[in-house]
């Protein structure tokens, strides 16, 4: 078996900026540069935060092409190409490979709720594309959960599987995976980046990085350097924001925060809605405490 792709550190689940219902490519280009300048170590387009459920297939393809072009090899691009339709996931993944993505992020097949053996076969089929796979274990969005044993079996038997984005919200799950497999574990929850690191996690695919990439990078650098005292200090400093950017369904709060900071418009596609008024001041106050300039708050 050849050496597998290694992912670690601070990666961003980048938003898809919209303006008047269409993808705002000018803002998108600026957001990519903002991430690179802020020290982000990987960019993940077309994930949950990128509102992939309401992107058309043509938009989905173009977003990945655009991000790959703008990143220009400076950091890995991990394209969200999952689906509950295996043939569709294969098509999306093949396109991402042709566009130049470095890896793909494959969410659990939602809604049709396959058994564990079905999820294994799903990943096995996508692996035929020969693009490194990051499993995305998020039962809160998919209604099913990849078992730790299934993740371990995928890593053992499917060479293209390189990591798991662990988003069950349970540190015990990270422990269960690490106890039986050497697969790279990446946190899917900002607030669990440090707790998961304590049991072997290697970084985060972050929502907060959309507005504070440098602060999330500091946390991950401390983790990678095994400086747990510095990591704990940074985690506790960021913790109120980790929680507040999920005061409503992601990506509603982070897009509100980015709009306050002038990074993009607060445009979301239905059925998502702009942030409720009662959450705006607390979020703005927390951001200002971090020195974020909010010209549009």
22 is a domain residue: yes
Give residue 26's pLDDT. Answer: 98
Predicted confidence (pLDDT) at residue 182 exceeds the cutoff of 80: yes
74 is a domain residue: yes
Average pLDDT, the chain: 97
4: buried, middle or exposed (CB in 10 Å: 19+, 13-18, 0-12)? middle
173 is a domain residue: yes
Q: How confident is the model at residue 1 (pLDDT cuts 50, 70, 90)?
A: very low
- Which residue range forms the structural domain that includes residue 109? 9-224
242 is a domain residue: no
pLDDT in tens, 211-228: 999 999 999 999 999 999
pLDDT in tens, 25-49: 999 999 999 999 999 999 999 999 9
The secondary structure element, H or E, covering residue 162 is strand 161-166
- Label the pairing between strands 78-80 and 22-23: unpaired
- Label the pairing between strands 22-23 and 18-19: antiparallel
- Label the pairing between strands 103-107 and 133-137: parallel
Predicted confidence (pLDDT) at residue 231 exceeds the cutoff of 60: yes
Which of 37, 29, 246 shows the shortest CA–CA distance to 45?
Answer: 29
Q: How confident is the model at residue 2 (pLDDT cuts 50, 70, 90)?
A: low
Which residues does residue 206 pair with via DSSP β-bridges, in sequence order?
A: 12
pLDDT in tens, 154-175: 999 999 999 999 999 999 999 9
- Phi and psi torsions of 203, nearest 5°: 155, -160
Average pLDDT over residues 2-10: 90
Predicted confidence (pLDDT) at residue 17 exceeds the cutoff of 70: yes
26: buried, middle or exposed (CB in 10 Å: 19+, 13-18, 0-12)? exposed
Q: What is the CATH number of the domain that holds 172?
A: 3.20.20.70
**At which residue do the structure tokens 């992020």 appear?**
105
297 is a domain residue: no
**At which residue do the structure tokens 């995305």 appear?**
136
Active site residue 110: no
229 is a domain residue: no
DSSP per residue, 34-83: HHHHTT-SEEE-SSTTTTGGGS-HHHHHHHHHHHHHHHTTSS-BEEE---
Q: How confident is the model at residue 3 (pLDDT cuts 50, 70, 90)?
A: confident
Which residue out of 97, 165, 255, 297 is catalytically annotated? 165
- Cα atoms in the 13 Å half-sphere on the side-chain side of 270: 1
- Phi and psi torsions of 135, nearest 5°: -70, 145
pTM: 0.96
Active site residue 155: no
Peptide bond into 178 cis (omega under 30): no
pLDDT in tens, 238-291: 999 999 999 999 999 999 999 999 999 999 999 999 999 999 999 999 999 999
Looking at the chain, the whole-number percentage of residues with pLDDT higher than 90 is: 98
252 is a domain residue: no
Predicted confidence (pLDDT) at residue 59 exceeds the cutoff of 80: yes
Which of 26, 32, 23 shows the shortest CA–CA distance to 70?
Answer: 32
Q: How confident is the model at residue 297 (pLDDT cuts 50, 70, 90)?
A: confident
Give residue 89's pLDDT. Answer: 98
pLDDT in tens, 126-145: 999 999 999 999 999 999 99
Looking at the 3D structure of the chain, how many domains does it have? 1
Give the 3-state secondary structure of residue 115: coil
Give the 3-state secondary structure of residue 203: strand
243 is a domain residue: no
């Amino acid at each position: 078996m050849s050496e597998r792709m290694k992912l670690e550190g601070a990666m961003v689940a980048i938003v898809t900026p919209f303006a008047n219902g269409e993808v705002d490519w000018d803002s998108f280009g600026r957001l990519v540069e903002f991430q690179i300048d802020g020290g982000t170590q990987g960019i993940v387009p077309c994930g949950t935060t990128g509102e992939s459920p309401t992107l058309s297939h043509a938009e989905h393809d173009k977003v990945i092409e655009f991000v790959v072009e703008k990143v220009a090899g400076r950091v890995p691009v991990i394209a969200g190409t999952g689906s509950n339709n295996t043939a569709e996931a294969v098509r999306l993944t093949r396109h991402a490979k042709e566009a130049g993505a470095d890896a793909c992020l494959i969410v659990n097949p939602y809604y049709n709720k396959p058994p564990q053996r079905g999820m294994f076969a799903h990943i096995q089929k996508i692996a035929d594309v020969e693009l490194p796979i990051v499993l995305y274990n998020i039962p809160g969005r998919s209604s099913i959960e990849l078992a730790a044993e299934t993740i371990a079996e995928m890593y053992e038997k499917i060479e293209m599987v390189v990591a798991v984005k662990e988003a069950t919200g349970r540190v015990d799950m990270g422990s269960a995976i690490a106890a039986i497999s050497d697969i790279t574990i990446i946190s899917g929850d900002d607030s669990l980046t440090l707790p998961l690191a304590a049991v072997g996690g290697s970084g985060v695919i972050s929502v907060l990085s959309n507005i504070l990439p440098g602060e999330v990078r500091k946390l991950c650098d401390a983790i990678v350097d095994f400086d747990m005292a510095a990591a704990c200090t940074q985690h506790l400093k960021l913790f109120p924001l980790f929680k507040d950017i999920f005061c409503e369904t992601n990506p509603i709060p982070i897009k509100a925060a980015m709009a306050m900071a002038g990074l993009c418009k607060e445009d979301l596609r239905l059925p998502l809605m702009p942030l409720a008024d009662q959450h705006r001041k607390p979020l703005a106050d927390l951001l200002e405490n971090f020195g974020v300039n909010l010209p549009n708050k």
